[in-house]
Structure 1
Amino acid sequence: MRGHLSSTYLVALGSNRPHHLYGRPRAVVHAAMEELAVLGTVTHRSPIIATAPLGAAQRRFANAAALVESELDPEAMLAGLQHIENGFGRRRWRRWGDRVLDLDIVLWSEGAFAAPGLQIPHPAFRERAFVMTPALAIAPAWRDPVSGRSLRHLNARLTRKHPRP
């Protein structure tokens, strides 16, 4: 469903499996950034970074973030992102497993949102450097609507050295 006003989404992108057309995960993420344009206007793209595997995943990830201005409401944006994932061959069979493409809504300019299968802000983004680092590159002043802290501040909390006992 289209709304009448445009809002901005911070979308996290990740891949750790090659794609038969696009090649290695870094190229998959680059192609997916271009594909986001079907959902709105991509105004900013972060650099693509390499990150360690997480959970059951066996391969290193390529991760990035993009800002997308769109008239889509959050549920329609999620459906659009899932459509893109499916077009890249995403199969949802194992949590934390290897995947060709993973697209997540991290933040929304309208604040917090909750619906079945969707929570904005993304519940785990504050603890994930592979999301925070690319997001920080394109939206350091964006404030988390839950904590009120900027991405710059949240990243500082995430990356600070903890004193040893």
Structure 2
Amino acid sequence: MGGNRRHSLYGDPRGVVLAAMDECAAFGTVTARSPVIATPAMGAAQRRFANAALVLESELDPPALLAALKRTEREFGRRPGQRWGDRVLDCDIILWSGGAWRSKTLAIPHPAFAERRFVLDPACAIAPGWRTPPHGLTLAHHQARLTRPRPLPR
């Protein structure tokens, strides 16, 4: 989860993310929480983001959990807007213990998770050994692939 706009009740983006992590306990048991990490803005966004990850044990299936997360975003003041723009809160399901999930509105694992440090850095802080479908690489492997130095072309 992440955000880069202030909230009248929760304050700066870090406070928003911490409050949203607390709210997720309503959907099950939060068994791990990453630190909140500051990350650069992407796309149309103008401000740095605060990002974090959590592990949630829930009886909700992925579509029901996604609906609950989107409802939480709206309750925190998220409004429809520009893709990749500034936002109070963004919540996504990146991985699921049940493996892969595909529907018209949801893809697990998240299609771009392995290309995003703002996802991998917090996720690796709490679950570096989590294996991802379909190839079984761990989150730590994905992070290493993304962050390792590459040789310069000759």
Letter in 2 for 1:39: F
Give me the TM-score of the superposition, normalised by structure 2: 0.98
Letter in 1 for 2:2: G
Matches within 5 A, 1:43-122: 43-122=31-110
Question: Match for residue 34 of structure 1?
Answer: 22
Deviation, structure 1 residue 92: 2.0
Matches within 5 A, 1:113-132: 113-132=101-120
Letter in 2 for 1:163: P
The reply to whether residue 147 of structure 1 matches residue 135 of structure 2 is yes
Q: In the comparison of the two structures, how many residue pairs are matched?
A: 153
Note the residue ranges of structure 1 that are not aligned, 5 or more in a row.
Answer: 1-12
What is the percentage of aligned positions where both structures have the same residue? 63
Note the residue ranges of structure 2 that are not aligned, 5 or more in a row.
Answer: none
Deviation, structure 1 residue 94: 1.3
RMSD between aligned residues: 0.6
Letter in 2 for 1:91: R
Q: Could you list the runs of 4 or more consecutive aligned residues of structure 1 that deviate by over 4 angstroms after TM superposition?
A: none
Higher strand fraction (1 or 2): 1
Residues 49-74 of structure 1, C-alpha deviations (whole Å, 9 max, x = no match): 00000000000000000000000000
Distance in structure 1 (CA, Å) of the matches to 2:149 and 2:44: 27
Letter in 1 for 2:45: A
